[in-house]
Chain A
Amino acid sequence: MPPTEANAPQQDERVPVMQRILDNPFLLLFLGVTLPTVLYLIWGVMEVASVPLAK
């Protein structure tokens, strides 16, 4: 069925990028785990690993 005038604009309406991000729980899960893992955990562990050993 061809789109009528009434429903055509609704079909064409684009969901904003930010809303698409916020509507994607698994993307948010990925971001929410990756960012602190890199900035806090991995960087922090590298800091500890770079402390010279006492001789």
Chain B
Amino acid sequence: MTAETVIGAVGAKAEFRTCQYTGLKVDAAAQKLIIANAVAAVVFLLLGGVMGLLVALTRWPAVHLLPADWFYLVLTGHGANVLLFWIIFFEMAILYFASAVLLNSRLAAPKLAWLGFLLMIAGAVMGNVAVLQGESSVMFTSYPPMMARPHFYLSIILFAVGALIGCGIFFATLVIAKEERTYEGSIPLVTFGALTAAIIAVFTIASGAVILIPTMLWSMGLISDIDPLLYKVVWWGMGHSSQQINVSAHVSIWYLTAALLIGAKPLSEKVSRTAFLMYILFLQLASAHHLLAEPGLDASWKIVNTSYMMYLAVMGSMVHGLTVPGAIEAAQRRNGFNRGMFEWLRKAPWGHPAFSAMFLSLVFFGFIGGISGVVLGTEQLNVLMHNTIYVPGHFHGTVVAGTTLAFMGATYLVLPLIFQREILWPKLAKMQPYLFGIGAAGISLFMMGAGTLGVARRHWDITFSDANLSFAHSAGAFLMMGLNGIFAIIAAVGGAIYVVVVVGTVLFGEKIKGGHKLTFPLHAGGGAVASHYGSEKTPKLPGTIILVTIFFVCFVLYYFINWKYLSELWLFR
């Protein structure tokens, strides 16, 4: 059976160029689609980022910028634009890069891929129109009985169908590459990580279709009602799993960046692939942690899906948390940075924005998003901060300080390698990941702090000025929300610099020609490492072991501090 018979009408002709920096063959059709998806991603990041700043300035009690109706409208738009549109457009670019480019293959069915892209654009534009019309301020979760206009639900369905087509193109390209023997042995680890993301995306999109199609019919008056608890169960199969696509994709970006910039091979292909397999099998089950406080669901379902199965996925993340810095240390030592415990880390390319973004993403994702995710996923501890602003604090640690920062770093690779433009304003580009990373980490930490003090999520006014029964949060809670606002401004400045550098580079950056020396260079042979199966031989990792030990100590301390908090809440007699 040939690739053509598996996939159908696949154009066998493809135009390739060879990248002068990586040696990879780049299919022109894949390149155009990567560019289109990356541009769309940045546009929706800009829109969602501005809305996010407005949300933070409203939740800052001293500023309290927007009136209530605008606050909920903007909060809905912020969630849709950054959690769905920015990230999934960028993930489509990653899927096409990790399949066609890394496997030196032609892309399957480019016309179909463009159809998917257009559906995603139509969905994203329609979603923003629906939100800005003001009758769909149901927030990202859109829980019934709150009802949005039918085209709000339709927009997400269209976007999801487009993304599903993109996943199909990815799988088909894997088949073509295998059939045409464009690679030897197993697919590279980065492509395997992208495969993990695509698999989770299929489950995510299917869950979304199962619940959003009937919800749209309900909003059209064709179905009498939607059971709120049933909606929550199925919706979170999409809502949380969509964030697990991000985790798989940004871990792939970590490996890719380490390979291209330092020549880092995985410490062990088997171990890293097994960690991705744990994601494939168990990561989506963590959706249940959003439902740990629901009385209608049995404790067995909650505990199996979170405290048992989720921990296996967490183990996968902890494996990557060891193997990514470990691979960097091993490669740096091979490159000659062998003195002491940490010369490899001190002499890492911190001035390369792709590296600094990747490493900060790794640290913030692990220490902030990862640890807080385990705490939230523990049924007993969850009651401490369920539906408080701790929850957005957690997912800003994973999706903003983790995924978004990693994707920003990847952009500094995509611009010279795919857009073939030299990065404009390199000094701004160098500082951008630090500014955005520190801002995003601050947002996460201070929201988590405020949530621990009881501040509710999604609440327009924490002073409860129009409530019949008065309530006053502690001064510490107000301080945390103020600091959250300040760090949101820092992150917004970092985000604005990112958009300015990217747009400036795409429009005015020097066109890269043969023999051009990059401002931010790659490791010689990095392309070959990224595109081939192979593990590091006999690595020594004393520095990484110390870093991982620090992580574990923080993890254990924070976990048990929360059990201590819990024991102070309730007296068990």
Contacts and interface: CB of A to CB of B under 8 A. Distances in A.
Contacts of A25: 171, 174, 195, 199
Contacts of B207: 41
Interface stretch (B252-260, B296-304, B476-484, B564-572): B296-304
A49 B291 CA distance: 16
A23 B186 contact: yes
B273 interface: yes
Interface residues of A, number: 24
Contacts of A33: 199, 202-203, 206
Contact of A19 (B186, B282, B298, B301): B186
A14 B200 CA distance: 30
A31 B297 contact: no
Given A25-B195, A44-B301, A48-B230, A36 B296 contact: no
A37 B203 contact: yes
A32 B281 contact: yes
Contacts of A49: 230
Contacts, number: 88
A43 B203 CA distance: 16
Question: Chain B: interface secondary structure?
Answer: helix
Contacts of A6: none
A40 B186 contact: no
B173 to A, nearest CB: 11
A22 B281 contact: no
A18 B269 CA distance: 12
A19 B270 CA distance: 8
Contacts of A18: 270, 274
Contacts of B199: 25, 28-29, 32-33
A20 B356 CA distance: 36
Given A36-B203, A36-B285, A43-B301, A22 B273 contact: yes
A12 interface: no
Given A18-B274, A29-B171, A47-B301, 19 more contacts: A19-B270, A22-B186, A22-B192, A23-B187, A25-B199, A31-B281, A32-B202, A36-B284, A39-B285, A40-B237, A40-B288, A41-B233, A41-B234, A44-B233, A44-B301, A47-B298, A48-B227, A48-B233, A48-B297
30 contacts: A19-B186, A26-B171, A28-B199, A28-B277, A28-B280, A29-B171, A31-B281, A32-B203, A33-B202, A35-B281, A35-B285, A36-B241, A36-B287, A37-B206, A39-B305, A39-B309, A40-B237, A40-B285, A40-B287, A41-B233, A44-B233, A44-B297, A45-B233, A45-B234, A47-B296, A47-B297, A47-B298, A48-B227, A48-B233, A51-B229
Closest 5 A-B residue pairs measured CB to CB?
A32-B199, A36-B284, A32-B280, A44-B233, A51-B296
